Amino acid sequence: MTPGRLLYILRRRSKLGVRHWFAENVIWKQILNWRPNGSWPFSSVPVHVLTNSNDWRMALWMLASFHETTQRRWLITLHEDGSMMELDLENFRQIFTEIRIVRPMDAEPLMAEVLANYPRCRDYRTRMPHGLKCFDIPEFCTGAKYLMLDPDVLFFRPPGEILNWRKIRARGDVGSIGISKSPARSRLLRQQRNWECRSGRA
């Protein structure tokens, strides 16, 4: 290591502080060594996460905290924008052995067909990162209910609203538990679905 490189690292560490060093060197290793408890029951509601090369570590931490606080094993579908390396994706596969990973090579042919008659939607999906949330996640959902979680969230206690919603059907109370029903989106995607999505936002 050159003196210049060493000086750069020391300056960077001093700016980031002890907490960042602890998270990077201690907590991150714990996350990579973490595994879901095999005795936890499986949840029938799938979890969809959109991530990229910048926040996939946060996504992994978020999913670990979600499993720990709910004491359940969830079926994860990971949507990535094409920026992640195969080695990064392998970390998810090792921890969540039944994870489904949707890469652009998987999504593009299907979404091109689905949005063929909707050029503005297609343009929005291409230009805006959250366009994948709007269109890809509902299209790749396999059931009437699904969870959509952001990477920059950590769970410190059981998410009661999510767990209760998982067990009972909502009664259209969008404001209280964040249920989203979108008949317009069903027509857009040429599907007759009655979606119920919990996004974590009321």
Convert the pLDDT of each residue in 84-101 to its tens digit.
999 999 999 999 999 999
Are 103 and 53 part of one and the same domain?
yes
Structure token digits, residue 39: 């005795």
The parent domain of residue 183 ranges over: 39-198
Tens of pLDDT, residue by residue over 188-199, are 454 444 445 555
H helices present in the chain, as ranges: 3-22, 28-33, 56-70, 86-95, 104-114, 119-127, 131, 137-140, 160-167, 174-177, 183-188
Residue 174 has pLDDT above 60, yes or no: no
Do 101 and 29 fall within a single domain? Answer: no
Please tell me whether residues 190 and 135 are part of one structural domain: yes
Total of domains in the chain: 2
Same domain for 54 and 147, yes or no, is yes
Is 178 found in the same domain as 121?
yes
Burial of residue 184 (number of CB atoms within 10 Å: 0-12, 13-18, 19+):
exposed
Q: Do residues 55 and 15 share a domain?
A: no
pTM as predicted: 0.75
pLDDT tens figures, 108-157: 999 999 999 999 999 999 888 788 988 999 899 877 788 999 999 999 99
Looking at the fold, whether 4 and 69 belong to one and the same domain comes out as: no
Kindly state whether residues 19 and 47 are assigned to the same domain.
no
| CATH code, domain with 56 | 3.90.550
* 171 pLDDT higher than 60: no
Higher pLDDT, 166 or 162: 162
**For the segment 56-77, what is each residue's pLDDT rounded down to a tens digit?**
999 999 999 999 999 999 999 9
Residues 16 and 78 in one domain: no
Q: 27 and 46: one domain?
A: no
pLDDT at 13: 62
Identify whether residues 61 and 95 lie together within a single domain.
yes
| pLDDT value of position 60 | 95
In the predicted structure, residue 169 carries a pLDDT above the cut 50:
no
pLDDT in tens, 6-64: 777 667 666 656 666 666 677 888 899 999 999 999 998 999 999 999 899 999 999 99
* Backbone φ, ψ for residue 170 (5° rounding): -75, 160
- Other CB atoms within 10 A of residue 125 CB: 22
| Pair 22, 115 in one domain | no
